[in-house]
């Protein structure tokens, strides 16, 4: 299935927000779309930083950015799933 265009996604997000505000989401489609869109942004950041890390000779600075992006994505995942996160990275 092709990825929606930015315009298509914007329309769908606006409709999902309206559905949630009007409490008209009988199958939780709007809830799922909004949650997945929120989480996807953080996962796309992880992908971009991981790609940069690999293409820049795996520099320590890029590794630090990658670990932070992973931690942020995990925080978002824990927040949205209302569960405790597992620790990862440099501690």
The full set of domain ranges for the chain reads: 6-81
pTM for the full predicted model: 0.69
> What is the sign of the dihedral through the CA atoms of 55, 56, 59 and 61?
negative
CA angle 67, 80, 45 (to 5 degrees): 35
User: Tens digit of pLDDT for each residue in 31-46?
Assistant: 999 999 999 999 999 9
Give the C-alpha separation, 1 to 76, whole Å.
Answer: 26
Burial (CB count <10 Å: 0-12, 13-18, 19+), residue 55: exposed
Confidence of residue 87 (pLDDT cuts 50, 70, 90): low
């Amino acid at each position: 299935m092709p990825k929606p265009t930015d315009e298509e996604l914007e329309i769908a997000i606006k409709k999902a927000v309206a559905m949630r505000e009007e409490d008209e989401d009988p199958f939780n489609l709007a809830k799922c779309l909004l949650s997945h869109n929120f989480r996807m942004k953080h996962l796309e950041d992880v992908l971009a930083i991981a790609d940069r890390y690999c293409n820049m000779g795996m520099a320590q600075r890029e590794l630090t950015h990658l670990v932070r992006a992973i931690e942020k994505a995990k925080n978002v995942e824990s927040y949205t799933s209302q569960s405790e996160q597992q620790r990862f990275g440099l501690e």
